[in-house]
Amino acid sequence: MIQPTQTYWQQLAACARTQPRTDLRTVQRNWLFDCLRRNAGCAYGIRHNFSEIHGIEDFRQYVPLSDYPHYAPEIERIAQGEADILFAGKPVAFEVTSGSSGHSKLIPYSTASLADFSRALLPWIGGMARHHGLSGSAYWAISPATRAARYTPGGIPIGLPDAAYLGEQLAPSFAGLSAVPPEVASSSNIDEWQQQTWYWLLHCADLELISIWSPTFLLALLDALPTHSDALGKRLHAESAAGNADARQALQRLQDYLASGSCQALWPRLRLVSCWRDGASRAFFDALRKRLPHAAFQPKGLLMSEGIVTLPDEQGNPVLAAQSGFYEFIGDNGHCSLAHELEQDECYEVVMTTAGGLYRYRTGDRVQCRSYCPESSWPILDFLGRAGLCSDLVGEKLTEAFVASCLPDNAGFCLLVPQPGPAPHYVLIVDDANTPPVASNIEQALCRNPQYHYARMLGQLHALQVKPVHQPLVTWQRRMLHSGMRMGDIKLVALRPETNWLDTFNGRDS
């Protein structure tokens, strides 16, 4: 394992000072027209008159609002190996993400779109390094290889290592600081991956940063440690008996943790944990913070396979990543606003144009404009939930963001799923280790939706049921992994519209 040095963090901290923030309208316009000029000759650019677009209104006139099915034919052509379809050239790779219908989506990455990821991530990581004075090791979430290496019919790889999003400039520092070697990701067995990950994390007394996506990723890893403690203890004891001082210290940390339950025994130098906080992740963010009270916590912004919407500044505010895409926002009144036109406290659906060939793409994510940064005048946007997740058994049209607002903040795992049939109703899946929420309280909150209330009054929908399940998070992760997602990318939501989730939690999946 390469030992980290303060030099790596100094290099990263310097990145935070090389990103000047200029006028938001200028930044957004420049990004958009660079993208349109670069891709004017691709099939999509020709069809939508990119070369004739000279202003924002031209862009809105010629390019329609879109969703994933809009791009499916072009993405199929790209996957077959065709070039110059959605953007100039061929993609570097594809990534798999899940859609609101439960079906997976293939998202293409161009060289330019990966550069946009790097352009946003470098100053963010550099800002963490500078603000928190980091000098030790870091654990970047390394997911197990639960999916075999895949390629499209045209030979384009499906899936990217985490470091690929950070660019060549950061790759040496990323590897040098990593507490867990990248090859651990090659393990396709979850138990083996957990044990290998813990072997390296126990050796890492100087761990100062943990950067993951969902807080459930680390909670599940912590919960698995007792299961692997015997095997880890035997391995570390044998290495210690052979004279390995690092193994002796790792064994002592393991024993101290098992005796005390304190994560400070594992990582006394831990300074910062970065993970999702908003939406359905809030309860798990709070739970993880209780497990690691000696560390500061920084909420991650809104990042997705399609692109980056927000990243935290040094104060933890989720600020628009205005140099990494072109953004529009659809208000509840249907009006489409630009980034500098957002009104404080108003809610919007995010529309994103990316260098990866998605133009005026409706992400389905809802945000609320908290305010504008005084330093840059870029908007601070709080993530509310997924607008694209909607369940409709009898006309009630429940959205994920609304359901999330109906659930108690401290209830732990809560997932509302529809149950069709002669007596259609909803079931709230909860963890049997927690005190279940009162069904009537949740029902009363759901009845704030007038269609749901009306359906209940008419008897179209039967009463909400609460179903405690043993380790529902494990079941949730297993199904999402089976759909092709990486462990580190799995994000909790408050609602899923598919009608077979109850079968999954009852162990009746085929």
Q: What is the mean pLDDT of the chain?
A: 87
- Quick: pLDDT tens for 15-49: 765 555 678 999 999 999 999 999 999 999 999 99
How many CA atoms lie less than 13 Å away from 6 in the CB half-sphere? 5
pLDDT at residue 328 tops 70:
yes
As a whole number of angstroms, the distance between CA 180 and CA 199 comes to: 9
53, 12, 295: which is closest to 171 by C-alpha?
Answer: 12
Same domain, 358 and 431: no
For range 354-383, the mean pLDDT: 92
Looking at residue 1, its pLDDT comes to 40
Provide the 10 A C-beta neighbour count for residue 237.
14
Would you tell me the crossing angle of helices 215-241 and 282-291 to the nearest 10 degrees? 30
State the Cα–Cα distance between residues 414 and 476, nearest whole angstrom. Answer: 11
How would residue 102 be classed by pLDDT, with cut points 50, 70 and 90? very low
* Residue 145 pLDDT greater than 90, yes or no: no
Q: What pLDDT is attached to residue 95? A: 87
Confidence band for 247, pLDDT divided at 50, 70 and 90: very high
Determine, yes or no, domain membership for 353.
yes
pLDDT at 486 over 90: no
In a shared domain, residues 444 and 326: no
Residue whose C-alpha is closest to residue 308's, from 293, 325, 292, 287 = 325
pLDDT at 510 over 60: no
Q: Is the pLDDT of residue 101 over 70?
A: no
| 338 domain-assigned | yes
Does residue 104 fall inside a structural domain? no
* 441 within a domain of the structure (yes/no): yes
Residues 314 and 201 in one domain: no
pLDDT of the residue at 19: 52
Percentage of the residues of the chain whose pLDDT score is greater than 70: 92
pLDDT of residue 18: 52
Does pLDDT of 103 surpass 60? no
**Among the three residues 347, 367, 386, which one is the final residue of a domain in this structure?**
386
Distance between CA atoms of residues 216 and 315, nearest Å = 23
Per-residue pLDDT at 2 exceeds 70:
no
Average pLDDT over residues 97-110: 72
Structural domain total, the chain: 3
User: In the structure encoding, which two tokens stand for residue 246, read together?
Assistant: 């690092």
User: What pLDDT, on the 0 to 100 scale, is given for residue 62?
Assistant: 97
Do residues 213 and 144 both lie within one domain?
yes
CA atoms within 13 A on the CB side of 467: 22
Whether 213 contacts 311, CB under 8 Å:
no
Same domain, 354 and 266: no
Q: Check residues 376 and 404 and name the one with the higher pLDDT.
A: 404
* Cα torsion angle, 167, 170, 172, 178, sign: negative
CB 384 within 8 A of CB 279: yes
Mean pLDDT throughout 399-415? Answer: 86
Q: Work out the average pLDDT over 317-340.
A: 94
| pLDDT band of 197, cuts 50, 70, 90 | very high
At 213-226, the pLDDT tens digits run: 878 788 888 988 99
Q: Which residue has the higher pLDDT, 464 or 127?
A: 464
Encode 355-402 in three state secondary structure: CCCCCCEEEEEEEEEEEECCCCCCEEEEEEEECCCEECCCCCCEEHHH
**Same structural domain, 168 and 277:** yes
Question: How far is Cα 153 from Cα 123, in angstroms, rounded to an integer?
Answer: 37
* 348 shares a domain with 317: yes
pLDDT of 499 > 90? The answer is no
Residue 235 is inside which H or E element, if any? helix 215-241
Query: What is the rounded distance in angstroms from the CA atom of residue 109 to the CA atom of residue 94?
Result: 6
The two three-digit tokens of residue 170, written as one number: 């950061």
Q: If pLDDT is split at 50, 70 and 90, which confidence band does 297 have?
A: very high
Residue 304 lies in a domain: no
Beta bridge partners of 157: 151
Q: Is 116 exposed, middle or buried (0-12, 13-18, 19+ CB in 10 A)?
A: buried
- The single-letter DSSP state of residue 312 is E
Residue 29 sits in the same domain as residue 53: yes
430: Cβ contacts below 8 Å, ≥ 6 apart: 411, 412, 413, 414, 436, 437, 466, 467, 468, 469, 472
Number of neighbouring beta carbons within 10 Å of residue 392: 12
Q: Has residue 464 got a pLDDT over 50?
A: yes
Query: Can you tell me the mean pLDDT for 351-370?
Result: 95
Out of 59-68, 262-271, 401-410, least confident range: 401-410
Q: Is residue 97 part of a domain?
A: no
Burial, 45: exposed, middle or buried (Cβ in 10 Å; 0-12, 13-18, 19+)? buried
pLDDT value at residue 415: 94
Shared domain check, 121 and 224: yes
* Residues 368 and 380 grouped into a single domain: yes
Q: Where a domain ends, among 334, 364, 386? A: 386
Question: Are 144 and 240 found together in one domain?
Answer: yes
For the entire predicted model, the pTM comes to 0.77
Buried residues in 436-475 as b, exposed as e (16+ CB within 10 A): bbeeeebbebbbebebbbebbeeebbeebebbebeebbeb
In a domain, 79, yes or no: no
Domain boundary among 319, 351, 386: 386
Please report whether residue 108 resides in a domain: no
Confidence of residue 427 (pLDDT cuts 50, 70, 90): very high
What mean pLDDT comes out for the span 314-318? 86
Tell me how far apart the alpha carbons of residues 26 and 30 are, in angstroms, rounded to a whole number.
6
Per the listing, tokens 């067995």 go with 189
Distance CA 256, CA 242 (A): 21
Percentage of the chain exceeding pLDDT 90 = 54
Residue 20 has a pLDDT of: 55
The pLDDT score that the predictor gives to residue 4 is 47
**What pLDDT is attached to residue 397?**
80
For strands 336-338 and 398-399, give the pairing.
Answer: unpaired
pLDDT value of position 217: 82
pLDDT computed for residue 16 by the predictor: 64
Write out the two tokens for 483. 């759909």
Contact 362, 410 (CB under 8 A): no
Residues 6+ apart with CB under 8 A from 64: 70, 360
Instruction: Say if CB 140 and CB 162 are below 8 A apart.
Output: yes
Range of the domain at 40: 24-71+85-92+310-386
Highest-scoring range by mean pLDDT, 7-21, 325-339, 364-378: 325-339
Does 40 share its domain with 63? yes
Asked whether residue 69 carries a pLDDT value surpassing 60, the answer given is: yes
Tell me the pLDDT tens digit for each residue of 48-63.
999 999 999 999 999 9
Residue 357 and residue 74 in contact, taking contact as beta carbons nearer than 8 Å: yes
Question: How crowded is residue 338: how many other Cβ atoms within 10 Å of its Cβ?
Answer: 16
